[in-house]
Amino acid sequence: MKKSRLACLIWTFGVLSFFIFTSVAYATSEAYKENIYQVGTLKPIDSVLKVKVGDRAPDFTLPAVTGEKITLSQFRGKKNVVISFVPAAWTPVCSDQWPGYNIINDIFDQNDAILLGITVDNIPTLFAWTNQMGKLWFPVLSDFWPHGRVAKKYGVLRSNGVAERALLIIDKKGILRYIDVHDINMRPPLEDLVNELEKLQKQP
């Protein structure tokens, strides 16, 4: 009887240790875990574009997380520009978009392009959020104040004050060559963006 009680104790302790260990491993494995706000399914598009392919891209200057100010026209004659508007920091799809772009800087280089990431969040929020993505090679810009002014200028500011999930390509002459105001609930397939960049690069 004593032997079986001891065996039972050892067994219970073993099981206890296993579950405690497992729980700790889960808790330390991923920084997004408790920090993503679930927004549910939203109206796919909730704004009206104010620009079209072939237009000169409206110029803007915005502060970057790194402290510098970035002006769109500073790339004119030097780089094609991809603008990635995403709706908001700490939301599911947005947190799962720029980290992918972060591993394809070679594709951007091959196509002589720079990426500008823009949200309407303020700088401290963007700083904390993008820190979870590792070191980003591209500027992250804040369109926080005056609130969403650039997004509004392009016609990608939604009625609740966040930006659409939109990708725009501007060529070296400053002309808009591609606009994808995507369903806010979905991530744009990477191949679509890369195909458009390659198409632009092949054109004289």
Partner 1 sequence: MSLTIFSFLWIGLATSAFSTDPPPLKDEVLQKIILPIPKNPEEKAYLGLSGATTFKIQQIKAKVVFIEIFSMYCPYCQGDAPKINELYQRIENDPDLKTKIKMIGIGAGNSLFEVEVYKKKYQVPFPLIPDKDFVIHKVCGEPRTPYFIVVKINDDKSYQIVHSQLGGFPGAEPFLEQILSVSGLK
Residue 103 makes contact with partner 1 by CB under 8 A: yes
Give the nearer residue to partner 1 in terms of CB position, either 33 or 78.
33
Residue by residue, what is the 3-state secondary structure of 104-117? Answer: CHHHHHHCCEEEEE
Annotated catalytic residue 8: no
In contact, 120 and 161? CB cutoff 8 Å: yes
- At its nearest, how many Å lie between partner 1 and the CB of residue 34? 11
Residue 99 makes contact with partner 1 by CB under 8 A: yes
The Cβ-side half-sphere exposure at 124, using a 13 Å CA radius, reads: 0
Q: Pick the binder of partner 1 from 26, 53, 198, 199 (CB under 8 A).
A: 26
Residue 198 makes contact with partner 1 by CB under 8 A: no
Q: Catalytic residue, from 72, 94, 113, 126: name it.
A: 94
Q: Pick the binder of partner 1 from 3, 25, 34, 77 (CB under 8 A).
A: 25
Report the run of H or E that residue 129 belongs to, with start and end.
helix 123-131
Which span (46-54, 100-108, 117-125, 157-165) binds partner 1, by CB under 8 A?
100-108
Q: Pick the binder of partner 1 from 44, 124, 161, 189 (CB under 8 A).
A: 189
Residue 29 makes contact with partner 1 by CB under 8 A: yes
Joined together, the tokens standing for residue 30 give 């991923």
Annotate 48-78 with DSSP letters as a single string: --S--TTSBPPP-EEEBTTS-EEEGGGGTTT
In contact, 75 and 138? CB cutoff 8 Å: no
Size of the site for partner 1 (CB under 8 A): 35
Span 137-166, contacts to partner 1 by CB under 8 A: none
In contact, 79 and 112? CB cutoff 8 Å: yes
Q: Pick the binder of partner 1 from 42, 45, 128, 194 (CB under 8 A).
A: 194
- Euclidean distance between CA atoms 186 and 132, whole angstroms: 21
- At its nearest, how many Å lie between partner 1 and the CB of residue 204? 26
Known catalytic residues?
Answer: 94
